[in-house]
Amino acid sequence: MKSIVLLISLLAVIPCAQAQQTDLIANTDGRKTISLDGEWRTIIDPYETGYYDYRYQPSADGYFKDAKPKTKSDLIEYDFDTSESLKVPGDWNTQQERLLFYEGTIWYKKAFDYQRKENTRLFVYFGAANYIADVYLNGEKLGRHEGGFTPFNFEITKLVRDTGNSLIVKVDNKRRRDAVPTLITDWWNYGGLTRQVKLVETPATFVQDYFIQLQKGSRERISGWVKLNGSKLDQKVTVRIPEARISKSFTTDANGSAQITFDAALTLWSPDNPKLYEVVIEAETDQVQDEIGFRTIETRGTEILLNGRPIFLRGVCIHEEAPFRGGRAYSREDALTLLTWAKELGVNFVRLAHYPHNEFMLREADRLGIMVWSEIPVYWTILWENSATLENAQNQLTEMIARDKNRAAIIIWSMANETPVGDARLSFLKKLVEHARSLDPGRLISAAMERHYIDDKTEMIDDPLGEYLDVLGCNEYVGWYDGLPEKADRLEWKTKYQKPLIMSEFGGSALYGNHGDALTRWTEEYQEEIYKHQLAALRKVPFLRGIAPWVLKDFRSPHRQLPGIQDGYNRKGLVSETGVRKKAFFVLQQFYRETAAQNTVGNK
């Protein structure tokens, strides 16, 4: 009997739940939603008292029960409703000083009422929770999600009540060796419900997802698919692009899927003309709207071609950190500020490092005409031989692509950053490349790799991973970790591949307002000197097709300890953490002005 009770209580708290996680609703913007943002009651639980019992077994009566004493004698040692609160969306670290370094569990509770409607379904959608989220509604476990930067949702149609719903999320941001990312990163481990949370209402059978883009290699043919979810899976589905007078109908199969292809003469999306079309996906039981741009992206030899024409990517790297207030960025305003700073620099391209950024960044990049490199946090050291780590990375890749595959701005999916060459790593990353190509055959695949010297003045890019990529990415810090700024002048760059190269990082640190001569570390002049030498040298690299210097804005990092200079910030920003421009900003801006007209760095 005891063991049955134990089994039931175990089932109540962990594993089965994962199966209930519903496939992602790809475009929540296009449907009826109810925001759950605002104050959530929270319990800081470093010992996970609300999850494990005193034998370290998952407890059947954890905090997720949201229990209240029923009699004056009842013993209940927590109470959400008299606990403190935190704002959602938002990392916890920057909301309370005592949480700045906190890594562990915090429980979140939101109470809500909901008027159930006939023939509708209800989902709870999380933009992101860093890092593991265990989600419960009215005491029942909905499921667990792992990965701090991608969205997930659960269906709650059968569990939701008219009044007094208790939505509880245990968020745990403890770093783990087998996780993605692993124990060390050069950014802050911001924990919590860092992005929007919402209820999404759908008809009984609804348009779950769709992929509507130009077919690879074609500027006139649209190709993709639509997927329904529900009980009436065979339906007529019409894709309309009203402005282009397009209306094409398809029939979904017994699984609710339809392949779609049709010809369309459209104005193509580009940084000069970021044209977006209203696209309507109309099923018999549901309708969703989106704004979609259409463009092609491909490579030919060492060229990158946008809509068939060679381009040079004038970029900058960006972390998802809020301008001015610090902490994780999560709003449209944050996205607009960061991307406007980048635009003022003269970019046509951003590398969103080192994990998928919030959806506003992609939506705004689409509108502003900024091409995007988007990546998953396979960073530095990963447990290459661990199958669960691979599955986790693959899942994060799936979720990134699921959310953003219709954004014209994204031209590159990147698999990894600065990972060490080796067999297990190569086999791991090859699987990610194959996976990305199977989900999205149209975009380019890259990774930020490393280079090495073959003699004292020749830099070589020959990482075996390069063979599987469309575009080579390479991080180098000549002038900062590697010699002094003038060293860049003496180097020649080589690669064994006939592929385009993006210098996906270079730069150096300066504290804004710290001045000295060009050889004094941490001064704006030293950083400026790096940029001058780097840009002059990179002009001479014949296969270079883009640059993304590190980094737009100073960002928090526990790696960066130097008192009076770093104080917990990586200072490689071209602007300070409050957005004040350093001298190097203007050097890069000038370079971009000169090169914009030519669409090349003048190496031919």
Site residues (vs ligand GCB, CB under 6 A) = 186, 354, 417-418, 475, 505, 550, 570, 572
Q: Where are the beta strands (DSSP E) in 509-593?
A: 544-547, 555-556, 569-570
CB of 354 to ligand GCB, least distance (A): 6
Which one, of 220, 569, 278, 264, lies nearest residue 406 by Cα?
278
CB of 450 to ligand GCB, least distance (A): 9
Residue closer to ligand GCB by CB (options 24, 548) is 548
Q: Which residue type is seen at 524?
A: E
CB of 308 to ligand GCB, least distance (A): 32
Distances, alpha carbon 333 to alpha carbons 132, 340, 358, 486, 579, in Å: 27, 10, 12, 39, 14
Residue closer to ligand GCB by CB (options 246, 353) is 353
Residue closer to ligand GCB by CB (options 181, 274) is 181
Which one, of 438, 399, 394, lies nearest residue 415 by Cα?
394
Six-digit token string for 116 = 């159930």
Q: What does residue 294 show for φ and ψ, rounded to 5 degrees?
A: -125, 125
Residue closer to ligand GCB by CB (options 186, 320) is 186
**Cα distance between residue 1 and residue 378, in whole Å:** 45
Which one, of 102, 5, 1, 95, lies nearest residue 57 by Cα?
5
C-alpha 257 chain-centroid distance: 27
Residue closer to ligand GCB by CB (options 208, 396) is 396
**Cα distance between residue 255 and residue 281, in whole Å:** 17
CB of 475 to ligand GCB, least distance (A): 5
CB of 246 to ligand GCB, least distance (A): 43
Residue closer to ligand GCB by CB (options 556, 572) is 572
Residue closer to ligand GCB by CB (options 155, 418) is 418
CB of 11 to ligand GCB, least distance (A): 41
Residue closer to ligand GCB by CB (options 206, 506) is 506
CB of 576 to ligand GCB, least distance (A): 15
Residue closer to ligand GCB by CB (options 146, 375) is 375
**Cα distance between residue 130 and residue 105, in whole Å:** 10
Length of the chain (residues) = 604
Residue closer to ligand GCB by CB (options 108, 531) is 531
Distances, alpha carbon 138 to alpha carbons 123, 160, 527, in Å: 14, 8, 55
CB of 452 to ligand GCB, least distance (A): 14
**Cα distance between residue 330 and residue 321, in whole Å:** 8
CB of 558 to ligand GCB, least distance (A): 12
DSSP state of 353: E
The residue with its CB nearest to ligand GCB is 186
Which one, of 566, 548, 587, lies nearest residue 510 by Cα?
566
Q: Which DSSP string corresponds to 126-150?
A: ES--BSEEEEEETTEEEEEEE-SSS
CB of 223 to ligand GCB, least distance (A): 35
